[in-house]
Amino acid sequence: NVSRVTEFILLGLSDTRELQVLFFTFFFLAYAMVLLGNLLIIVTVRTDPKLSSPMYFLLCNLSFIDICYTSVTSPRMLADLLSQRKAIAFDDCIAQLFFLHFVGASEMFLLTVMTYDRYTAVCKPLHYTAIMSRQVCWALVLACWAGGLLHSIVQTLLTIRLPFCGPNTIDNYFCDVPPVIRLACKDIYVTEWLMASNSGLVSLVCFLVLVGSYTFILVTVRVRLTEGHWKALSTCASHMMVVTVFFVPCIFIYLRPFSTFPSDKHVCVIYTVLSPVMNPFIYTLRSNEVKASMRRLWKRCRV
């Protein structure tokens, strides 16, 4: 395109030095917990044959996606918090935007698949192993990555086709489609509607499917009050907590063409930092199988 801008300036979360140091400490600890917690889940699931069910296979993939997702924004944010000039090259900005939507959309689709797994386990327990075979699980995971790639390509093409010749200041701590396209020096009416219909509707539709599935599961559990169903319901409650924290801020950010608020960058912290932090704690602390497997892994490492 005819862009003249070679770099963007990220304003970050605050320009106060004391707050930047506080944010650096908090986000560094959060990033470390995401890496260590999710790596521990991956190692635990991969090394324990007792955690071979589809639910733990999907949980292992979710942990891998969370590591990738938070690594797209957190390292750059941590470096900028210690820098005076928070500049990012145009190509690096587009690359960050691409991988953010690639991994983020893949996580949305995977969370939807995990809901289908819980629906099958609760509502069709006798056919669960046949429906959620290992081949089906792999196919669903690959479909999630393919859907995320397609979504990201569309979002990136919507951005790079625009000319950038004016202001280059982004009021955020990472590059994303909404703040970047508003810096274009042309009318973005159509682009904003396309962005909202892509990212916004994907987030909304996935969230509505998740809520509908969990509602159906709740209705089923009310009829069959067995110990196994209450256990599945507990797992669903944890899953729904992660889903709400991840999807609601995404819907708020991406389903609003032609409007922006100063609080947007603080809302972004919820689904780029807090949601990946929650996953290891929620899934490990509420799963006796995972906690028991981690204890066995710790004993083997000490021997």
DSSP string, 238-296: HHHHHHHHHHHHHHHHHT-TT---TTHHHHHHIIIIIHHHHHHHHHHHT-HHHHHHHHH
Average pLDDT over residues 130-149: 93
| Residue 222 domain flag | yes
Phi, psi of 46 (to 5 degrees): -70, -25
CATH of the domain at 228: 1.20.1070.10
- Host domain of residue 176: 15-302
Give tens-digit pLDDT for 225-245. 555 556 666 666 777 777 888
Side-by-side strand order, sheet with 169-170: 87-89, 7-10, 169-170
Q: Is the pLDDT of residue 151 over 90?
A: yes
| Residue 34 domain flag | yes
Q: What is the pLDDT of residue 6?
A: 85
Q: Return mean pLDDT, the chain.
A: 85
Give tens-digit pLDDT for 170-221. 988 999 998 898 888 888 888 888 888 888 889 999 999 988 888 888 777 7
Q: What is the pLDDT of residue 226?
A: 55
Structural domains of the chain, count: 1
Q: Is the pLDDT of residue 73 over 80?
A: yes
Return the higher-pLDDT residue of 226 and 288: 288
| Residue 4 domain flag | no
Q: What is the pLDDT of residue 280?
A: 77
Verdict on whether the full-model pTM lies above 0.85: yes
Q: Is the pLDDT of residue 275 over 60?
A: yes
* Percentage of the residues of the chain whose pLDDT score is greater than 90: 35
Q: What is the pLDDT of residue 233?
A: 64
Secondary structure letter of residue 162 according to DSSP: S
Phi, psi of 142 (to 5 degrees): -65, -35
Q: How far is CA 63 from CA 46, 70, 261, 268, in A?
A: 12, 11, 31, 20
CB atoms within 10 A of CB 228: 11
Q: What is the pLDDT of residue 168?
A: 87
| Residue 6 domain flag | no
Question: Which of 16-25, 206-215, 254-263, 294-303 is least confident?
Answer: 294-303
| Residue 3 domain flag | no
Question: Which of 63-67, 142-146, 165-169 is least confident?
Answer: 165-169
Q: Is the pLDDT of residue 297 over 60?
A: yes
Give tens-digit pLDDT for 25-54. 999 999 999 999 899 889 888 888 888 888
| Residue 2 domain flag | no
Q: What is the pLDDT of residue 97?
A: 94
At residue 2 the predicted structure's pLDDT band, cuts being 50, 70 and 90, is low
Average pLDDT over residues 58-70: 92
| Residue 10 domain flag | no
At residue 4 the predicted structure's pLDDT band, cuts being 50, 70 and 90, is confident
